[in-house]
Structure 1
Amino acid sequence: MPKQAFIAPHLSTEELKEKYRKAKDSVEARRWHFLWKVANGWTVKNSAIAVGISNSYGWKILKSYNGKGIEGVNNEKKERQEHSRGFIPLLNDEQFQKLTKVIKKKSPDGGLWTGPKVARWIEKETGRKKVWNQRGWDYLKKLKYSWQKPRPKHRKGDSIAG
């Protein structure tokens, strides 16, 4: 018979069950569920299987709860969400508004605005060394512009009437 794990008496089994049932964060709910099962006499391995975590992660949760108490169960990642997820905008709001106005006029070479042309404009505006052409196209799409192509002309058509 496997050795039963020690669980510190920070909370009773009923309090653990209540914490599990009222947890709003799914990670914390799973941890409370695991601890409730261990407190009811389940082994760490069986409790981990029942709540869908690995055995080693179960031992980490138990160790954290025994050492820190209720704070050891909290989901710390939930509190640290100031990460930009890798996306840092090239233009701030003021520059974006300026681009909106500039793009309504003709491009510097007189043609249509394209992704590379917008990327060169962003380079000049922000002082960046390199802005990829795709980022220029991304800003065109953000401004609801689409890929434009001149209307086709028939080879026998009147070039002056054009």
Structure 2
Amino acid sequence: MPKRAYLAPHLSLDELKNIYRQAKDPVECRRWHFLWKIALGWNVKNSAIAVGISNSYGWEILKNYNDLGIEGVKNQKKESVEHPRGLKPLLNDEQFLSLTEAFKKRPSDGGIWTGPKVARWIEKETGVEKVWNQRGWDYLKKCNYSWHKPRPKHRKGDQAEQAKFKQDLPLKVKQLQQKFPQSSLEIWFFDEHRVGLKPILRKVWSKVGERPIAIVQHRYEWLYVYGFVEPKTGKTRVVFNS
């Protein structure tokens, strides 16, 4: 396992995340994204791959931040030289609108949208011979998409039945109270967790504020854990069964 890189405690994890998300300059944004990954426990190699930079550049960013703090992350070229490539976006307004519409459908391979796939889409749309993968990630963020894991949903789950249970529960409680007026009624909810094999969910791009659902088929073995809670009092119980 690669050795975890040292990150000087100039900023907390939440502060790094906020600076990364609020950064306006694309160079600084990528640098803060890289540092945030390091703070989360990622190694330098995987963090560099995730944000689309080289391994050596990642170590350079880390060293500058450890030595200089926030000043070491700033894009000095932005303040000294106007880079002509930064003045013209890859897509005009009409092409950008076409990209946002394309995101509403699956990409041509039928999979999910990723930075490299967006870059290939831009190449085809604009005729540009080479668009770097990191520009695809930039446009996903520009379209208000974020990168996170889907929320797992079991294929046997029935939302209609769940909604019906919530709706009918108060009536059932009232009926029991009327049937047994001299008895004390306690309501307990329980859930079970069966420790074993679970599907690996990889992160995907989705609209900010919207968490996608991944239909999975769990395969469980070995240990069953049952948790009980009484909503009225907050009392809990745990039972293990193998």
Q: 1:42 to 1:79 in 2, by over 3 A?
A: same
Do the aligned partners of residues 81 and 16 (structure 1) sit closer, same or farther apart at CA in structure 2, a change above 3 Å counting? same
Q: 1:73 to 1:83 in 2, by over 3 A?
A: closer
The 3 A distance-change label for structure 1 pair 83 and 3 is closer
**Which structure carries more helix by proportion?**
1
The Cα offsets for residues 34-88 of structure 1, whole Å up to 9 and x where unpaired, read as: 000000000000000000000000000000000000000000000002699xxxx
**Amino acid in structure 1 at the alignment position of 2:49:** I
Unmatched 5+ residue regions in structure 2?
85-242
Match of 1:81 in 2: 81
Q: Does 1:14 align with 2:3?
A: no
Tell me which stretches of 4 or more aligned residues in structure 1 moved more than 6 Å. none
Partner of 2:59: 59
Q: Which residue of 2 aligns with 1:39?
A: 39
Cα distance in structure 1, aligned partners of 2:82 and 2:47: 33
AA of the residue aligned to 1:45? K
Q: Which has the higher strand share?
A: 2
- Residue 97 of structure 1 is matched in structure 2 by none
Q: TM-score, with normalisation over the residues of structure 2?
A: 0.34
TM-score by length of 1: 0.50
**Which one has a bigger Cα radius of gyration?**
1
**What fraction of aligned residue pairs are identical, expressed as a percent?**
74
1:120 maps to what in 2? none
Letter in 1 for 2:43: T
